[in-house]
Amino acid sequence: MSPIQRLFWLLCVLNLVLATSSGSDPHGSNDTLSHEYCVLGAGPAGLQMGYFLSMRQRDYIILERNSGPGSFFNIYPRHKKLISINKIYTGRRNREFNLRHDWNSLLSDRPDLLFQRISRELYPNADDYPRYLSLFEQELGLKVKYGVDIGRIKALGFRGDQGYVLTDQNGVRYQCRVLLVATGLWVPQQVDFLGSDLVEGYESIPTDPEEFKDQAVLILGKGNSAFETAQSILGRASRIHLYSPSPVRLAWQTHYVGDLRAVNNELLDTYQLKSLDGLVEGRLDDIAIVRRVNNEGKRRTGNKTSGKSLKAKEQLYLTLSELLDNQNGNKSSNVTAQNLPGYHTDNFSLRQPYDRVIRCLGFRFNFSIFDGSAQPPQCSGARGRLPGVTAWYEGRGTPNLFVLGTAAHSRDYRLSAGGFIHGFRYTVRAVHKVLEQRYHNIAWPATKLPISQLQSWILKRVNEASGPYQMFALLGDIILLRGSHCEYLEEFPLQALSQLSALSGRHVSEHGLMVLVMQYGLNHTDTLGPGRAESEWTKAWRSNFLHPVLYYYKTLPTEKDMRQRPVGWPLPRPEAVHHMVEDFLTEWDQPISHSQPLRRFLEYCLQTDLRPFYAESCFLMSLTSRNPPVFCRQGYLKKQGILGNSHLWQHAREAGLMPDHQGDVPPDTSVPEYLTHAGAAVVSRINFDL
């Protein structure tokens, strides 16, 4: 081996050593991936946000711990029936309008990327949902990393003002300027009481009804999961009782889709027709479930039945913790009849034993992955199950961390649809617009309209917009008045109205602003009783059903105004308000009941006459008034007058709305010979033979 060869060999070895040592750091702690936006969770909310981020070509990543999107739907609802409406025939082809009746699709610019491509069932199978989400993710090419289980989230800087660092199960770290938490609600909600260990959870009960054959079942909870469970075993169980603190709230009465949907409510029928099922109200935290051998009364010694050994079947009893002696716990042997309420009150409703007790109490947000500094506080409403967020969905005290999807429901809990796909797809879009303004200085998109077009634009929105329709009372259109024109902002989160300028980058002028909201009404009447529908437009404010409401403010309401808004109102008392009367067909387009009252309201707010006029009237007013009405100024005087025809003029004249100018000069349309040469291009008249 020549020295040169040796040297060469040495270099090779050295190279190899260097290469291996640099390539295999066993700890990998320096593996930090950096993104501007991290979206946590590839469920509907996460993917929805991913779509908006990718539309703007932002640097984002969606992190998902499971191997596919929407894994929640692989398990839930346990009986596999989605109760979100998938109405594919509406008689309309308006895509925006159709989203009012499509509760499953996500928003995108692709007309074919709707859930109806996957399922045509009104109440689809839950397995179809992850399939839809996969389709959505793949066709739009969203950036999702599956199998990344983030276990720890740390804030950078002072409570996240520098961003967040996420660490996954392999120690890989993701550093992001903005964290969008779309992890949903999936931790089963539990209530701690004596004997709660004897209770089965909704998440793990068998779904085969045969397993409940001839069993008495007590279900804790009266929500959709409780009723769904009850409905599936209705034909097998002997007796089903539903127990929870509050009475059943029916979605068709409360207009809150989180309340009991009629699709799940068969048990109400068997209850009211006295077919052994029933509902009972009572507190959960001071009950106890005890196990006791099923027999009647105390057995007397010497009173033995025949050689048949007694089936020592243990059954479950509901009792109150105060009736139990503290020391005996729930050992079945120790429970005596005196420990049961039936001993004290002989007709106690739940005195009979149960074979199973099932907990159907819903889910809570997973707070455990957040470090103290990064953790949004628990919201005081909704039994602390949800993180507290601002009106623009940023965690309280965790800047640059936003909560999306079901977990962001605290803003409209039991009020609107923000906890459901058909609602939060719009709030996600609103949050994205906030992000664009805050991090990229791109103001909230606005349509500039001449004031004479405002009425028809409002009618257009009222008749098709799905966002304010689904997210009623929560998202509303903002109309910034600017004198002769206005700026129209769609679907702004109303609770953040006082922060409008900062969040949207749009400013309120001295002309004030209007807000268009869809609202349900007072709901003081019997939902199905007489007088439930209002058809008189002057009584529109008494409308019970969803209807558009316009608020007019001279100045932007302050936070204090917002806080002190009238009870039950989405917004503070305005300068003037206009309710458009509810409509049976949700078509607010009729001239007398809808358009004209709206026009008069706009006229009041703008302090100007907004009536349309035919060109002839504009001609007259343009020559005899130094400042003709706005319709003439923005139409006729811009050379776009509405001529109309004699047939229409005749109508207007008969109605006394248009003067007859004939006078005593007979109409004469022939041009005298001596005048013909005077006609110019814009004057020339042609006689068409129609």
Partner 1 sequence: QDNMCIVYLVALIFCITKVRCSSNTSKLIEDSSQSFTERMKTGKTSFIYFGNHVNPTIKLFLDQLEMSADALEDYGISVVKVNCSKETIAKYCTGEKLITKTYLLRGSEVLRSFDIDTVFDVSAIVSHVLFTVLYNEVRYVHTPAELLQVENAAKQMRDVVVGHIPVLGLPEHRALMEAAFVYGTKYQFVQTTGGPLLKHMGVDDLSVSKARLWFLHCKDMSRQMDQCPFTPMRKPLDTINIHTFLQLMEARLVTEANVDPSEVDMVHNHLNVPVLYLFSHPQTKRLDRATAQTLALQLRGEVGVVLIHRDSTDVKTPLQYNAAYRLPQEDVKYFTLNSAEEVMKLFKEELLQDYKMVEDEEENEEHWSDLEILDDEVSESVYRDRDLMLDLESITELTSDNFQSEVTQNKITVVLFYFKWDAVCMAFMQTYIQVADALEGVSGLVLAAVDCGEWTNICSDRDVTSFPFIMIYRPMEAPQPYRGMLGTESLQRFILLSQISGPVRLSSSADVLSFLEGDLYSKHADLSSIRVLGLFTSTLDTGVTSFKEAAKLLRGEAILGLFVHREAEKWVEGLSVNLPAVLLSRGSEVSREAYYLPSFSVNDLVSLVQRAVSDPFPELTVENLPWYLELEKPLLLLFVGKEYSTETSLTEMKHLLSSGQLPSFLPCWIHLGRTPVGRSVLEKYLGFVPPLPALVMSQLSTGGEVFLFPRERPLKAKNILQWLQSVENRDEHPAGVIPDTKWSPPVPVYDFLATMDQEAPGYASQRDPKMKTGAKEGHRDQDMTPNQRQTTHSSPKPQAPHEHSEL
**Smallest gap, in angstroms, from Cβ of residue 147 to partner 1?**
36
Tell me the closest approach of the beta carbon of residue 92 to partner 1, in angstroms. Answer: 7
Per-residue x/- marks for partner 1, 519-538, CB under 8 A?
-x-xxx-------------x
Q: CB atoms < 10 A from the CB of 612, how many?
A: 16
Closest by Cα among 514, 534, 516 to 524: 534
In the chain, the N- to C-terminal Cα span, in Å, equals 108
Contact of 293 with 312, CB cutoff 8 Å: yes
* Residue 60 or 472 with smaller CB distance to partner 1: 472
The backbone region for 86, taken as left when phi is positive above 0, alpha when psi lies in -120 to 50, beta otherwise, is beta
The reply to whether 663 sits near partner 1 by the rule CB under 8 A is yes
Residue 188 within binding range of partner 1, rule CB under 8 A: no
- Which secondary-structure segment (H or E) carries 434? helix 421-440
- Which of 28, 59, 296, 344 lies closest to 167 in space, CA to CA? 28
* Cβ atoms of residues 174 and 33 within 8 Å: yes
674 binds partner 1 (CB under 8 A): yes
- Rank residues 46 and 418 by Cβ distance to partner 1 and give the closer one: 418
370: which 2 tokens? 């957040």
Binding status of residue 367 toward partner 1 by CB under 8 A: no
Q: Is 108 within 8 Å of 477 (Cβ atoms)? A: no
Closer residue to partner 1 in complex, CB, 62/602? 602
327 binds partner 1 (CB under 8 A): no
* C-beta closer to partner 1: residue 163 or 353: 353
Number of residues in contact with partner 1, rule: CB under 8 A?
A: 166
CB of 263 to partner 1, least distance (A): 19
Q: Does 639 bind partner 1 (CB under 8 A)?
A: yes
Residue 682 binds partner 1, judged by CB under 8 A: yes
Return the residues of window 70-129 that contact partner 1 according to CB under 8 A. 92-97, 111
Q: List binders of partner 1 among 380-409 (CB under 8 A).
A: 380-383, 388
| Paired tokens of 383 | 């039994």
Torsion of CA 588, 592, 596, 601, to 10 degrees: -80
Query: 421: closest CA among 63, 143, 45?
Result: 45
Stretch that binds partner 1, among 75-83, 139-147, 157-165, 664-672 (CB under 8 A): 664-672
Q: How far is the CB of 547 from partner 1 (least distance, A)?
A: 12
Distance between CA atoms of residues 662 and 654, nearest Å:
14
Question: If binding is defined by CB under 8 A, does position 28 make contact with partner 1?
Answer: no
CB 407 within 8 A of CB 183: yes
- Is 401:160 a contact under the CB 8 Å cutoff? yes
> Is the Cβ of residue 41 or residue 572 nearer to partner 1 in the bound state?
572
Asked if 656 contacts 647 with a C-beta cutoff of 8 angstroms, the reply is: no
Q: Are 390 and 411 in contact (CB under 8 A)?
A: no
- By beta-carbon proximity to partner 1, the closer residue of 304 and 661 is 661
Judged by CB under 8 A, which stretch of 25-33, 304-312, 329-337, 627-635 contacts partner 1?
627-635
Among 188, 201, 209, 278, binds partner 1 (CB under 8 A): 278
> Rounded to whole angstroms, how far apart are CA atoms 636 and 623?
12
Q: Is 675 in the site for partner 1 (CB under 8 A)?
A: yes
User: H-helix or E-strand containing 617?
Assistant: helix 615-624
**Stretch near partner 1 under the rule CB under 8 A, chosen from 9-17, 127-135, 198-206, 347-355:** 347-355
Residues 546-565 that bind partner 1 (CB under 8 A): 560-561, 563-565
- Among positions 428-457, residues that touch partner 1 (CB under 8 A) are 447-450, 453, 456-457
Q: Is 576 helix (H, G, I), strand (E, B) or coil?
A: strand
Identify the residue whose tokens are 């009367």: 581
Residue 648 binds to partner 1 (criterion: CB under 8 A): yes
Q: How far is the CB of 219 from partner 1 (least distance, A)?
A: 13
Say whether residue 348 binds partner 1 (CB under 8 A). Answer: yes
User: Which of 5, 303, 326, 624 is in the footprint of partner 1 by CB under 8 A?
Assistant: 624
* Separation of alpha carbons 541 and 378, rounded Å: 36
638 vs 632: CA distance, rounded Å: 8
Among 27, 308, 311, 685, binds partner 1 (CB under 8 A): 685
- Considering the complex, state which of residue 71 and residue 319 has its C-beta at the smaller distance from partner 1: 319
Stretch that binds partner 1, among 151-159, 435-443, 503-511, 586-594 (CB under 8 A): 586-594
The β-bridge partners of 402 are 180, 394
343: contact with partner 1 by CB under 8 A: no
**Phi (first) and psi of residue 98, to 5 degrees:** -65, -25
Q: CB atoms < 10 A from the CB of 105, how many?
A: 22
**333 vs 625, beta carbon nearer partner 1:** 625
Q: How far is the CB of 275 from partner 1 (least distance, A)?
A: 14
Nearer to partner 1, 84 or 622 (CB): 622
Copy the structure tokens of residue 203: 């998440």
Assess 614 for contact with partner 1 (CB under 8 A): yes
59, 286, 371, 559: residue in contact with partner 1 (rule CB under 8 A): 286
User: Per-residue x/- marks for partner 1, 223-262, CB under 8 A?
Assistant: x--------------------xxxxxx---xxxx------
Q: Is 629 in the site for partner 1 (CB under 8 A)?
A: yes
C-beta closer to partner 1: residue 308 or 524:
524
Q: How far is the CB of 307 from partner 1 (least distance, A)?
A: 40
Among 180, 540, 546, 581, binds partner 1 (CB under 8 A): 540
**Nearest distance from residue 169's CB to partner 1, in Å?**
34
Interface residue with partner 1 among 282, 445, 483, 531 (CB under 8 A) is: 282
Nearest to partner 1 of 71, 406 (CB atom):
406
Torsional sign, CA 299, 302, 303, 309: positive
CB 602 within 8 A of CB 596: no
If 0-12 CB within 10 Å is exposed, 13-18 middle and 19+ buried, where does residue 311 land?
Answer: exposed
> Do residues 78 and 202 make contact, with C-beta atoms less than 8 angstroms apart?
yes
Which of 44, 52, 20 shows the shortest CA–CA distance to 439? 52
If you search the block for the tokens 């409905």, which residue do you land on?
A: 231
